[in-house]
Amino acid sequence: MKRGFDIVVALAGLLALWPVLLAVGLAVRLESAGPAVHWSRRVGRDNRIFAMPKFRTMRVGTPDVATHLLADPQAWVTPLGRFLRRTSLDELPQLWSVLIGDMSLVGPRPALFNQDDLVALRTEAGVHVLRPGVTGWAQVNGRDELPIPEKVRLDAEYLARRSLGFDVRILIATATAALSGRGVSH
């Protein structure tokens, strides 16, 4: 049932939002050199690596690490990128990943391929069996502000509580957080 819900919502979202996707992609290309979409190597279900699309919010040449690990993250984020991150518009291309089955609408946010500490803790907690999500329980409970052990605790809580109703609750909370820009540190 969850996979069917994901497919229907992702397809509807892509069809409804294609003008927004086109406009954001064009704006990214006009603002700075480089591609509009960045394909990030992420850890998916059962710890398999997959390519996750995001609108590019960082300058070309940014080291491939979590933003909080950069010495001066603000030096790498583009002006448009700040807005895209605050509003979560940079995440819209991930609807494609949901459609093809690499991701779900709701689940733990996919770790970067080199976030070994997060991957290890999620594996220990059994969370690695879940398809990663465009949003998740940890996202709506702190986003970038949460330390890794707390993210994993919330991911494990999601694993225990997951249901279609809980997913809808998380999606509604995500929309509210995206509109307010709450929880984004970079």
Q: Which H or E run includes 112? A: strand 111-112
Tokens 């907690």 -> residue: 125
Please list the residues that pair with 38 across neighbouring strands: 54
Neighbours of 79 (CB within 10 A): 10
β-pairing, 133-135 vs 111-112, is: unpaired
Of 150, 64, 170, which Cα lies nearest the Cα of 107? 170
pLDDT at residue 186, as a whole number: 45
- The CA-CA-CA angle for residues 166, 153, 52, to 5°, reads 70
H helices of the chain, in order, are: 2-31, 73-76, 79-87, 94-100, 116-125, 148-161, 164-180
- The CA-CA-CA angle for residues 96, 99, 104, to 5°, reads 95
pTM for the model: 0.88
pLDDT at residue 185, as a whole number: 47
| Band of pLDDT at residue 64, cut at 50, 70 and 90 | confident
Residue scoring higher pLDDT (177 or 17): 17
Given a cut of 70, is residue 5 above it in pLDDT?
A: yes
Q: What is the mean pLDDT of the chain?
A: 91
Please say whether the beta carbons of 54 and 37 come within 8 A. yes
pLDDT at residue 63, as a whole number: 76
